Structure 1
Amino acid sequence: MDTLLGGHDLCLHYSSSLKEKVTMKSHRDRSYARWRTYAHSCMSDIYRVRVLILLCLVFGSTLFISRASSIMGWSHDRQTPRVFPRSGYTVVINTWKRNDLLKRSVSHYSSCQGVDAIRVVWSEPTPPSDSLRSSLEGLVELATRKKHRHVSLQLDIHVDDDLNNRFKPLDGLSTDAILSIDDDVLVPCGTVESAFSAWTSAPNSMVGFVPRMHWIKAMNLPLGNYEYSYGGWWSVWWMGTYSMVLSKAAFIHEKYFDMYTNQMPASVRQYVKEKRNCEDIAMSFLVANETGAPPLWVKARIYEIGSTGISSLQGHSEHRTDCLNHFVSLFGCMPLIATHVKVADARHLWFW
């Protein structure tokens, strides 16, 4: 660090003996320099004219070639084509005993232009009724009448009540992008499309609408490591820093669902199941640990239409803090990376 901050002088140093030799040589060459001055002054004007003519010729040739290439259809671009993710995205809705909110959510997201499929994560003790299935299918059909894209609907039934179910691998996907969403969160379709566009530029990252932060709380001197605390929205707003985007409203590559279920330490999933909390933090740990990069927050207005949830319970922040520190111990490190970068639609800003 001292080297970078000026502790080490990168300039070359001359020794004293070398300085003396340079001084003696300068005296011997002084007379020769005087003689050269006159000849140089006479020739310099000629050289300048020649250099100027040469530069004009080079510039004219370059301009002609560039224009000729566009006229004749020549192309010098030999760059490797970019590989884009498969078009469209799948909306994965996590629901729990709120059929009215589920219907509203399915109807809304089915109308978004880029949606390829709707998958509902069902973890309730009783399977969905036939009337509910029929109602959801009717809402999808109604919402997609004006679209040129067919939207399929599938309910993924899980026999156990486990928050890890929302990240179970999904068979039959035709997209790489998954919009993970809670049944009580509505994101305007235009905002969803903007976030999807941002995700396509960084498909290995989580791109979402709800930022959170981890803060260093104290240092555990006996163990020599840090203790962390969970920072909610107000700490993000106050400090302008975040290190997570919650999976209640975020784009995630479908490969991370397989990694979460089959590669992440089983102890992490067991902790989530027992505590009934923090599956979103676990996914943030997984992605950050895999990429070594922060997530991307899309700053936009979203609407939470539910009145109850885990986040409304007393002691929620303390439980999340416990999750952070427990996951650090299970992962063996703190993989989350803080950032100040955010994406915003310039059309909705007062100033560019």
Structure 2
Amino acid sequence: MSSTHIAISDRAADAGELYSPAKEKANNRGVYGVRSQIFRRRVRQLIGGPRVKLLLSLCILSFFVLFSSRIGTFKSWNPHASSSASSPSRRGYTVLINTWKRNSLLTQSVAHYASCSGTDAIHVVWSESDPPSNSLKAFLKKIVLKKSHTSRKPNFKFDLNEEDNLNNRFKPIENLRTDAIFSVDDDVIVPCHTLDFAFTVWQSAPLTMVGFVPRMHWLDQEKNGIVYYKYGGWWSVWWMGTYSMILSKASFFHKNYLELYTHKMPSSIHDYITTERNCEDIAMSLLVANATDAPPIWVKGKIYEIGSSGISHLKGHSNRRNKCLNDFVSLYGTMPLVPTNIKAVDAGHEWFW
């Protein structure tokens, strides 16, 4: 490339436009500058005219009408129409129900999730010393067949564990046909349309946790070089508008995290959960955040709790959660949780955008 061409290109770049020798000569004579001033004056006079103002107003009005119609089209979008919940290539999701000595709640939960079109399989995590009775097995299998509205009926299975241990809920499952796991407690009911919408959200970010129960953390204090964090429940999330965890009592995550939780997470965390009988959901949130360096996604949707005897209602629960969070962070050696204020909303079921 010649030095002359480089010089021309540099001058054109400095001017912010294509270089023109004729234009430069005109500018040097003052002719081009005068014509430019006259042209700008005529443009201002033209734009300032009443007819042009009316035309511009009509154009702006037409734009807003078109924009509003597009919003109306988007708000009426039905996630079932494009959801891969019914696509053979994605096969929907596996519902993983954690239960313990609440057969009546388990029955309601299995019946409900069997009726959701995206449910490909239902696995019940059973952690009682006595296995489920044959009558319970037969009854629940019959319910699954009866409640399912799809031609391909969901698989149903009990995952048996002799030991009562909260780590059981995240054991790997063989022969899964889906990548998506919907982890849920036996006393939590998520309406099918809300569940399927959350599944479409998860498909857009399949490596993170997507769910309905957000929690948060914040810096509490620093003493002697040690940082302490505070665990915040729902009212903290509501007040601050921020969250950094999605609890596994109602959340989607990739099946690979079952393998990571069981075989890759520090055994000291497993032992901690076994001893404290708490905080396996915090451990899963930390695991996913540590693997992705990304926040979870909270899906806005009404869910129903049909029981009230869980460990979250026990006295001193908040203090134990604070201790779990800080002990886990100490074992990790870092705070992997990423705060966010993003919320996924199904516009088809909202009055306001």
TM range, smaller chain: 0.7 to 0.9
One-letter amino acid matched to 1:135 = F
Deviation at 1:185, TM superposition (A): 0.2
Tell me, yes or no, if the aligned pair for 2:27 and 2:33 is still in contact at 8 Å: no
One-letter amino acid matched to 2:261 = Y
Looking at structure 2, the residues matched to 94 and 202 of structure 1 have their Cα atoms a distance apart, in angstroms, of 24
**CA displacement 1:245-271 (0-9 Å, x = unmatched):** 100000010000000000000000110
Alignment partner of 1:92 out of 80, 89, 96: 96
Looking at structure 1, the residues matched to 180 and 27 of structure 2 have their Cα atoms a distance apart, in angstroms, of 75
Deviation at 1:44, TM superposition (A): 12
Counterpart in 2 of 1:333? 334
Tell me, yes or no, if the aligned pair for 2:216 and 2:231 is still in contact at 8 Å: yes
Looking at structure 2, the residues matched to 36 and 219 of structure 1 have their Cα atoms a distance apart, in angstroms, of 71
Gaps of 5+ in 1: 1-31, 46-83
The structure-2 alpha-carbon separation of the partners of 1:35 and 1:134, relative to structure 1 and needing over 3 Å to count, comes to closer
Q: Partner of 1:169: helix, strand, or coil?
A: coil
Counterpart in 1 of 2:117? 113
Q: For residues 84-163 of structure 1, what are the structure 2 equivalents within 5 Å?
A: 86-144=90-148, 146-163=149-166
One-letter amino acid matched to 1:141 = L
Counterpart in 2 of 1:15? none
Counterpart in 1 of 2:214? 211
Deviation at 1:147, TM superposition (A): 1.5
The structure-2 alpha-carbon separation of the partners of 1:43 and 1:322, relative to structure 1 and needing over 3 Å to count, comes to closer
Looking at structure 1, the residues matched to 166 and 160 of structure 2 have their Cα atoms a distance apart, in angstroms, of 13
One-letter amino acid matched to 1:301 = K
Alignment partner of 2:175 out of 162, 172, 176: 172
Counterpart in 2 of 1:239? 240
Counterpart in 1 of 2:320? 319
The structure-2 alpha-carbon separation of the partners of 1:293 and 1:44, relative to structure 1 and needing over 3 Å to count, comes to same
Looking at structure 2, the residues matched to 178 and 34 of structure 1 have their Cα atoms a distance apart, in angstroms, of 70
Counterpart in 1 of 2:29? 36
Deviation at 1:346, TM superposition (A): 1.7
Q: Partner of 1:250: helix, strand, or coil?
A: strand
Q: Partner of 2:96: helix, strand, or coil?
A: strand
Looking at structure 2, the residues matched to 39 and 249 of structure 1 have their Cα atoms a distance apart, in angstroms, of 70
**CA displacement 1:64-111 (0-9 Å, x = unmatched):** xxxxxxxxxxxxxxxxxxxx9833100000000000011110010011
The structure-2 alpha-carbon separation of the partners of 1:124 and 1:41, relative to structure 1 and needing over 3 Å to count, comes to same
Counterpart in 2 of 1:305? 306
Q: For residues 23-102 of structure 1, what are the structure 2 equivalents within 5 Å?
A: 36-38=29-31, 86-102=90-106
The structure-2 alpha-carbon separation of the partners of 1:345 and 1:36, relative to structure 1 and needing over 3 Å to count, comes to same
Kindly indicate whether residue 257 of structure 2 is the aligned counterpart of residue 256 of structure 1.
yes
Aligned residue pairs, count: 281
Tell me, yes or no, if the aligned pair for 2:172 and 2:259 is still in contact at 8 Å: yes
Looking at structure 1, the residues matched to 309 and 27 of structure 2 have their Cα atoms a distance apart, in angstroms, of 91
Taking only the aligned residue pairs, the percentage that are identical comes to 57
One-letter amino acid matched to 1:321 = N
Return the TM-score normalized by structure 1: 0.76
Larger radius of gyration: 1
One-letter amino acid matched to 2:195 = V
One-letter amino acid matched to 1:334 = M
Counterpart in 2 of 1:199? 202
Looking at structure 1, the residues matched to 28 and 123 of structure 2 have their Cα atoms a distance apart, in angstroms, of 88
The structure-2 alpha-carbon separation of the partners of 1:34 and 1:190, relative to structure 1 and needing over 3 Å to count, comes to closer
Q: Partner of 1:120: helix, strand, or coil?
A: strand
The structure-2 alpha-carbon separation of the partners of 1:332 and 1:103, relative to structure 1 and needing over 3 Å to count, comes to same
Tell me, yes or no, if the aligned pair for 2:26 and 2:32 is still in contact at 8 Å: no
Q: Partner of 2:295: helix, strand, or coil?
A: coil
Q: Partner of 1:259: helix, strand, or coil?
A: helix
Deviation at 1:272, TM superposition (A): 0.5
One-letter amino acid matched to 1:337 = V
Looking at structure 1, the residues matched to 182 and 133 of structure 2 have their Cα atoms a distance apart, in angstroms, of 25
Looking at structure 2, the residues matched to 36 and 157 of structure 1 have their Cα atoms a distance apart, in angstroms, of 92
Looking at structure 1, the residues matched to 261 and 27 of structure 2 have their Cα atoms a distance apart, in angstroms, of 79
Tell me, yes or no, if the aligned pair for 2:244 and 2:340 is still in contact at 8 Å: yes
Counterpart in 2 of 1:80? none
**Over aligned residue pairs, what C-alpha RMSD do you find?**
2.2
Q: For residues 265-276 of structure 1, what are the structure 2 equivalents within 5 Å?
A: 265-276=266-277
Counterpart in 2 of 1:226? 227
